[in-house]
Amino acid sequence: MVPIKKVNLPLMPPNHMVFTVPDVDAGKRLVTWLIRQVRTLSRAQIQRLIHEGQIQIGGHTARDDRPIHSGDKIELDLPPPQATALKPQPIALDILHEDADILIVNKPPGLLMHPATGHPDKTLANALIQRFPDLIINNEIRPGLVHRLDRDTSGVLVVAKNARALTILARQFKRRTITKEYLALVLGRPDPPEGSIDNPIGPDPGNSHRMSVDPPTGGKSALTHYVILKTRGDQSLLRVIPETGRRHQIRVHLAYRRHPVVGDRVYGEVTENELTPARQMLHAYRIRFRHPGTNNLCEFTAPLPADFGIRT
């Protein structure tokens, strides 16, 4: 029997990654190509790894963002993910959809997006880290919160699972190519029953917690479209589509038209009694955008919560 010679193979670092460039990707830029292979890193972070000499091509340290060639062996040492300050907490989540790039969450009312002064934990971010501990954005363990909903606003929310998805979705929000549709229960019956509110919004000079229409500083352009879907007594259910994304935009615009969101304790006139809802009746119903992984147009909806007491 021939004795087996033991060979001491070099141990690969746990974050050592190796790729071989296929024929179809020849000629692409190194950074652009790597962004698709290592989705947890942003363009800036990959460029930083090149600068720090952490990326090799064919055994030689990559010096710049050069074109790659078919068969190139690309290696990089990925630093371990940075610890997060977020405390994982077992908070129930309604996940409407999950794939390699995104999560679609139906956020309940009363849940903050992330820790803030006076609210160090028990937020959506804490719940996401608990449920999905492998969420890594730019080599930091954290969820990619692409956009936000007010604490007492419920509904559909997009979460990026990696840096590339976060970058692509943020670009769509900035370019206003993402469509968001809300359902709002308001006081009264807007006249006309379908229309637009086009008034600038900015910080309220008299209250740092509020926004206001046409503030002395001029504010920023804000455009909101609405249509009445149903009426019930002295209340109306509206479909609302904001074209811009100003803070509290829908609530501020509707209050400005004297049709505040029912239960809005900041912009409405609320009389506390047993019939007063526990939160403002505003729900993010539908969102439509280009999927960051496939570029296909996709749409997600979150059913209207029971506390509205009305069906669409």
**Looking at 72, 101, 150, 152, which residue is catalytic?**
150
Catalytic status, residue 204? no
DSSP string for residues in the chain: -PPPPP--PPPPPTTEEEEE--GGGTT-BHHHHHHHH-TTS-HHHHHHHHHTT-EEETTEE--S-PBP-TT-EEEEEPPPPBPPSPPP------EEEE-SSEEEEEEPTT--SS-BTTB-SSSHHHHHHHH-TT-EETTEE--EE-S---TT-EEEEEEESSHHHHHHHHHHHHHT--EEEEEEEEES--SSSEEEEE--EEEETTEEEEEEES-TT--B--EEEEEEEEEETTEEEEEEEESS--TTHHHHHHHHTT-PBTT-TTTS----STTS-SS--EEEEEEEEE-TTT--EEEEE-PPPGGG----
| Dist CA 273 CA 268 (whole Å) | 15
- Show which residues are catalytic: 150
